Amino acid sequence: MKKRIGLLIALLVFALVGSVSASNWDWSWTSTEGSDGVSVYYPASGWTWTEGSDGRRVVYPVSGWNWTESKNGRRVIFPLSGWTWTDSRDGRRIVYPLSGWTWTEGSDGCRVIYPLSGWTWTEGSDGRRIVYPLSGWTWREGPNGRRIAYPYDGDSFARVEDLLYGLFIEKIPLAENLQPHLNLLLEQMGVEYYSDSYDLELRRAHHLLNVNNFFEARDLFRKLSRTGRTDYIRREAAYYIGYCSIKIEDYWQGIQDYRDFLSQYDVPQNARMVPYALYVVGVLYENLSRQFDAVEAYRQCVRRFPHDEYGKLSQERLNVISNSSRGREIAGRHVEVDSRFSAKKHLSPVRINPFDGFRVDSAQIARVCQFIHSVEHMNDAEEAFKKLTAADKKLDTVRKYQHILANKQRFENLHKGAQK
């Protein structure tokens, strides 16, 4: 069994290595195997390993990180500055930030960490303690005695596990060279985040996204949107298809991807990620000078999700549009307006808004729009195609319109032949 686990890990990391190479990142990887037979892959430069008495090796950056061993023999890593650890009665050692965080232990012996400010805990009849925010959240107890936290104000589909996970990640000191290796660091820290959203392939897709390998990330998200084992995974993957299309600068395909997401997942019983998609669709339309469509998307987001962060962002865009007639210029300034809302405010371990820190290339939009218009009206399409760059020609939208152009030309030739 251990050999099989090691093989699975090896296969996953080999896939990651190939993806990294494809994204032009100058990384090299190596591996180490513990006496338990499990191998772990890690960056060859600036990292090292240590082995616990249980035979499992963990890897960590040489600079600024260290390890500690729990009673069960498993070693975990943690940042040297401002972090500490605590032992549960079940033998696990948990690392957490020294400032502003604490822990609590239920009668079942399991400890859980949480922020000191604004959070509390409750214990179910099964002895398990859970933590949750004091404001806007409460709990209920299931038939098995396990208590579950849920929000009564704001986003009704929010999960306390996601919220806590995001807050924890914000405390990890990540230098720029470590940011793409966040998932590897979390695994070595012993962080457990098993939920409907836990999936190795989904994490690999986000890793590809984090290292700017957008084409491969999109392919994997597309696959997971069809084959993911839970609705949670399929929904998240479907959302990030459009996210990748935007990063590739294929805004027209991005609109189609997000429309596909909304048609499948905008359902009464579950609106998770729907406000994000509505807002992003509005931004897409705005940048393509389709202001009427942008306003419709923003209004729908505001009407349905007035208390959500992206409902408020949509209202901001509506206010700006209503106060100015310079629609195209407004769209070009969108990133500056939106950059005030950082990832910390959303408290998410993954990126949500594809326009954060992203500037739209108006010249590229003009070239592709001209080509689309030329194909649709069969007016100087060949000349418009010549003006496209090599990057433009790789876009799904351009390829689709190339196919449309070829079919139209074929039909015209057949029609001319029939007239003769």
| Residue 181 CB neighbours (<10 A) | 21
The residues, any chain, with a CB within 8 Å of residue 210's CB and separated by 6 or more, are: 179, 180, 182
Q: Distance between CA atoms of 364 and 210, rounded to whole angstroms?
A: 24
pLDDT at residue 358, as a whole number: 74
Q: Distance between CA atoms of 310 and 55, rounded to whole angstroms?
A: 47
Q: What is the pLDDT along the chain (420 residues), one digit of tens a residue?
A: 444 444 444 444 444 444 443 333 445 889 999 999 988 999 999 999 999 999 999 999 999 999 999 988 999 999 999 999 999 888 889 999 999 999 999 999 999 999 999 999 999 999 999 999 999 899 999 889 999 998 887 555 577 887 888 889 889 998 888 888 887 898 899 887 655 555 768 878 887 887 789 999 999 999 999 998 888 889 999 999 999 999 999 999 999 999 999 999 998 878 889 999 999 999 999 999 999 999 999 999 999 999 888 999 999 999 999 886 554 444 444 433 333 333 333 333 456 788 877 788 888 888 998 888 888 888 888 888 888 999 888 898 888 888 888 888 787 777 666 665
State both tokens at 96. 């957490």
- Answer whether 69's CB lies under 8 Å from 52's CB: yes
What are the b/e assignments for 118-150, b being 16+ CB within 10 Å?
Answer: ebebbbbeeebbbbbbeeebeeeeeeeeebebe
CA atoms within 13 A on the CB side of 404: 16
| DSSP class of 150 | E
pLDDT at residue 90, as a whole number: 81
- Answer whether 35's CB lies under 8 Å from 29's CB: no
| Residue 354 CB neighbours (<10 A) | 22
Whether the full predicted model's pTM is greater than 0.75, yes or no, is no
pLDDT at residue 27, as a whole number: 52
